[in-house]
Structures are given as structure tokens and as C-alpha cells.
Structure 1
Amino acid sequence: MSIQILQYEFLGPIPLDEWGPPMEKLVYLILSRDKDRFNIIYAGECEKTEEKSYFIQHSQFQCWIKQSGSEKSLYLAILPMFESSNIQRQNVLTRINQRYKPPCNTDTVESKPDYIVRSSKSEKITCACCGAEMKSEKILEKSTLYRCTNCGISDTRLDS
């Protein structure tokens, strides 16, 4: 059995309590099962372990149980990356964390927008397509995005 996350083919999911060592050079996902659906609650990577208690002793184990409701709802999926470096595994983790935002990944960095929101100006703009009024949708650092209330077309205007 396998599960596809982004373009990666993970082995599993299997119940977490059925896992047994060893593990070497892989990215793993801790999943919570909700009927026929699996939700990613944690993404991590492992260089090498032979410890049977690797997951039970993990610093986020209590978060996993809280998110899944019980230890019996925890599942494991792995992406073997035998010839990978730590940087390559971190790159996969970063992509997964950015896309899925697992709730137990405390190191997931919230990305800040690359625009500055300013106070809105009351300025009437008419739609070039249908002539209806356009409303300010987003005010950026040097421009404003407008959307037509009638046809939905958008327009960006530079602020002076």
C-alpha cells in the first residue's frame, strides 16, 4: 500500500504500533485516521534509528495523540531516501510543511506576506468591461487590486 503526498510516493500508511526498527535515511509522516481519510499531523525525517521506542519517545508524541484522539488512530507513512543527504530530506519536509501545515510541527514557519496592507481610500473605479463599480479587494504597498461587483473582472492600479 502507498500514499502520494505532493509528487512523493510514501509507503504505508501502517498503524504506528505495528512499526519496528530499523529506519535509515527517510522522511516520515505521522497520520491521523478519520474513517477512510488520513490527515498529516506531523512530518519528520530520520538519519538512522534502531530504537523500538523512537516514536513513543518523540517530543511531539503527546501532540499526535491529542490531534488523533487516541494512539490507535496514529499511522505511519515513510519515504525511503537511502542515498539522500540531510539537506535533501529537509527540502522534502519544507515542501510538505508549507503545503499541509501539520499541526504538530512546531518548527513550521508561518510565511509572512510580501506586501504591506495600508488603509483603504474611498475612490470610485468603474469596470472597463461592464461599467459597474469596482471595489478595492487588496491594498498592496504600491498598488491596489480592484474587483468588479458585477462581472468579477479584476484590475490593478498603481497608487500615486
Structure 2
Amino acid sequence: MVLPALSLSLQFARFAAAPEHRAVLARHRVARWIRHALSANAEITVRIVDEDEGRQLNRDYRQKDYATNVLTFDYAQEPLVLADLVLCAPVVAREALEQNKTLEEHYAHLLVHGALHAQGWDHETSAQDAAEMEAYETAILGELGFADPYA
């Protein structure tokens, strides 16, 4: 299987737990996870942030005053997918623990999820769209060797 090309910028904000997250998010892993979710070549920046930055971005761009796990800023879908994916490390770590997942499993899921959003997938438009997106995420993660994130 030939996967789309990906130009990836991987950034980490400065926060106390950054080394733990950096260890899980080796560049080659992040690129592999995202490439499996792409249907076209892409230029994507992934930024791992602390709770303050995650909350500020969610508040400024979505008018929601809390830090969320992943924010997708999609700029173009054709002919090249252009997007920024911002993941809030403390939220991701907390959710992984609550869901009894490894940090790696949860990051893989959220990066696939964000990459799909960058290509126009949306789970908030209808129950059918949500079911289709979840099924596709599950299939992609299965190809990558991960269990169903919704099980």
C-alpha cells in the first residue's frame, strides 16, 4: 500500500511533562499514524501543548472555555491537505488513564481523528456522520495494530 506523502512539523511547548510525551511521540510514529489517515498528500504541523495554551486556543477559536484533547485547524484539503493539529498533553494523559489506554494508543487515535477532521470528516453534524467517522478511525487504527478506541 502506497501512503500519501507527509511534510510534518512536530512541536512541543515547554511544560513539566513534555519529556514523557516526547518519548511517546517519536516523529516516525506520528508520521506513520497520520499518513495512514490521509487520502492526499499533506503538510501538517502537530503541536503538543500544556493546559493553559490548549484552553486559550479552544476559547479563542471555538468559544469553549476549557482545554480539549485535540484541535484541528484545517486550511486546505485540495490539492494538498494543510492543517495544524494541537493536542493538549494533560488532557490526553488524563483521558488515557480514564479510558484504561496507554498514552501511545490515545495519541495515535487522536492524531488519526485530527487528520480526518483536516480532510473534512465531521462527527458533530449527525449521528450517521459520527458512526461513519468512528468506523473509519477504528479501521485505520486496526491497520496500525491498535484496538478499537471506542470499545
**More helix as a share of residues:** 2
More relative contact order, 1 or 2 (CA 8 Å, 6+ apart)? 2
TM-score normalised by L of structure 1 = 0.30
Which entry has the higher C-alpha Rg, 1 or 2? Answer: 1
